[in-house]
Amino acid sequence: QNDLLSATGTTVFTVMSALAVQHGAINLGQGFPDYDGPEDVVRAAADALLDNRNQYPPLTGLPELRQAVAAANRRFYGLEIDPNAEVVVTSGATEALTASLMAVVNPGDEVVLLEPLYDTYLPVVKLLGAVPRLVRLSPPRWELPRAELAAAFGPKTKAILLNTPMNPASKVFTAAELAFIAELCQRHDAYAVCDEVYEHLTFDGWKHIPLMTLPGMRERCLRIGSAGKTFNLTGWKVGYITCDRSLAPNVAKAHQNLTFTTAPNLQRAVAVGLAKDDGYFADLAADLQAKRDRLSAGLAALGFGVLTSQGSYFVTTDFTPLGFAGDDVAFCRHITEAAKVTAIPVSAFYAGADAPRHFVRFAFCKRMEVLDEALARLGAWK
Ligand code: PMP
Ligand code: GLN
């Protein structure tokens, strides 16, 4: 057995979703919408399925999807990307993260990570034999701690793994913060693996800025997107990496040894999705912002300390004002059983034992009536 994997727990998302099912709770834990993605996109997948699109597609992805990824890079960020040499399609952002790290990291290299962090980052970095250097962001503002970040970079730094918009902090990194990170990467000759799965899910006028668009960063960044989030089709697991032509061949070799290819009918449909007009992407964010507002206001009215969510599917809350005697894990268990509403303990996004233990994350990517019912249940429980 691999010691690291034996020591790794089952992901908190699976644990909490199973608990939600067991107790008949509304699941505001794991981040998946309770509505399907755009019908034309789903239909394109069904059409492709019936149209003999069922054998191995090209290793780096169907040409039409690579072209669509390149076109989206140009449309949204002004990035000029060669679809034949600078895009690799993967089976979800999860695979894209592993493939990107595999492409650039050797055993013993250091990888800078920002806490709170998505739960696959640390196990993957360690499986590759790399050494994690953790830097912690602090609530409620989650500002970049510049001195600590600068101190985490050194001669052994190979890469930083940056997630913006950030899960679970729901923070969108500012241009100034990104410039600071870019300067460190250049000074220390480091790559940046950029998990940008929530790139289109930003609120209140916050605009996602890919680190790759900053001066000097075009060749250093591996930019990851996910159709799961962009089209509310989380089960599809189609991701895409945009990176310089000098890096793409290694990324492709990693992908070759992880999954080799990704379902071609889904790739075809995601290409259709990425070509949708600007209105689709604006509505996607606006709909989600209305849901965020509904849940945030409702939780605040119940007494939760609600942190501002600038992007993603999530809002983080402080349950201290409710006077619950117990930590965040106990709180999430308790409300699942007693209120029949499930959330995720934010301490699950920290590596150390000294994680904050009074925050829980709620997903608002649910129908309005479901959010209202969850609030009513929490109100009745309280
Ligand atoms: N990164 C972050 C920050 C996420 O929240 C998620 C959750 N889905 C992923 C990566 C994985 O994305 P995918 O489902 O495309 O593998
Ligand atoms: N990204 C989702 C979340 O943060 C979970 C995906 C998963 O279950 N691995 O809730």
pLDDT in tens, 40-64: 999 999 999 999 889 999 999 999 9
pLDDT tens across 136-159, in order?
Answer: 999 999 999 999 999 999 999 999
Handedness of CA 293, 299, 300, 305 (dihedral sign): negative
If you average pLDDT over every residue of the chain, what do you get? 97
Is-cis flag, bond preceding 345, omega within 30? no
Q: What is the mean pLDDT of residues 322-334?
A: 96
Residue 2: its pLDDT value, please? 87
Please give the distance, rounded to the nearest whole angstrom, from the Cα atom of residue 252 to the centre of ligand 2: 25
Write the ipTM.
0.97
CATH number at residue 141: 3.40.640.10
Indicate whether 201 and 69 sit together in one domain.
Answer: yes
Rounded CA gap, 267 and 27, in Å? 29
Total of domains in the chain: 2
Please give the distance, rounded to the nearest whole angstrom, from the Cα atom of residue 183 to the centre of ligand 2: 31
CATH number at residue 328: 3.90.1150.10
pLDDT tens across 101-144, in order?
Answer: 999 999 999 999 999 999 999 999 999 999 999 999 999 999 99
Q: Which of residues 242, 276, 310 is at a domain's end?
A: 276
Q: Of 260, 241, 339, give the one whose Cα is nearest residue 25.
A: 339
Indicate whether 297 and 328 sit together in one domain.
Answer: yes
pLDDT at 6 > cutoff 90: no
Q: How confident is the model at residue 222 (pLDDT cuts 50, 70, 90)?
A: very high
Pairing state of beta strands 239-243 and 87-90? antiparallel
Pocket test for ligand 1, best of 197, 258, 309 (most atoms within 8 A of CB): 197
Residue 4: its pLDDT value, please? 83
Residue 352: its pLDDT value, please? 81
Indicate whether 209 and 89 sit together in one domain.
Answer: yes
Let me know: does 332 contact 345? Beta carbons within 8 Å: yes
Residue 7: its pLDDT value, please? 81
Q: Give the closest ligand to the alpha carbon of residue 10.
A: 2
Pocket test for ligand 2, best of 30, 97, 98 (most atoms within 8 A of CB): 30
- Give the binding-site residues of ligand 2, using a 6 Å CB cut-off: 11, 13, 30-31, 167
Indicate whether 127 and 163 sit together in one domain.
Answer: yes
Structure token digits, residue 222? 């591996």
Give, using CA atoms, the residue closest to atom 4 of ligand 2.
31
Residue 371: its pLDDT value, please? 98
Residue 274: its pLDDT value, please? 98
Q: How confident is the model at residue 382 (pLDDT cuts 50, 70, 90)?
A: confident
Please give the distance, rounded to the nearest whole angstrom, from the Cα atom of residue 197 to the centre of ligand 2: 11
pLDDT at 273 > cutoff 90: yes
Residue 101: its pLDDT value, please? 98
CB distance 239 to ligand 1 below 6 Å: yes
Rounded CA gap, 160 and 143, in Å? 17
Indicate whether 272 and 284 sit together in one domain.
Answer: no
Single pTM value for the model:
0.97
Residue 99: its pLDDT value, please? 98
Indicate whether 149 and 267 sit together in one domain.
Answer: yes
Residue 353: its pLDDT value, please? 82
- The residue type found at 124 is V
Provide the domain limits for residue 141. Answer: 39-276
Indicate whether 105 and 221 sit together in one domain.
Answer: yes
Q: Which are the contacts of 287, defined by CB distance < 8 A and separation ≥ 6? A: none
Q: Which of residues 276, 310, 341 is at a domain's end?
A: 276
Indicate whether 160 and 242 sit together in one domain.
Answer: yes
Q: Which of residues 227, 250, 276 is at a domain's end?
A: 276
Indicate whether 156 and 57 sit together in one domain.
Answer: yes
Q: Give the closest ligand to the alpha carbon of residue 238.
A: 1
Indicate whether 313 and 172 sit together in one domain.
Answer: no
Residue 223: its pLDDT value, please? 99
Indicate whether 16 and 111 sit together in one domain.
Answer: no
CB distance 231 to ligand 1 below 6 Å: no
Indicate whether 326 and 356 sit together in one domain.
Answer: yes
Let me know: does 88 contact 70? Beta carbons within 8 Å: no
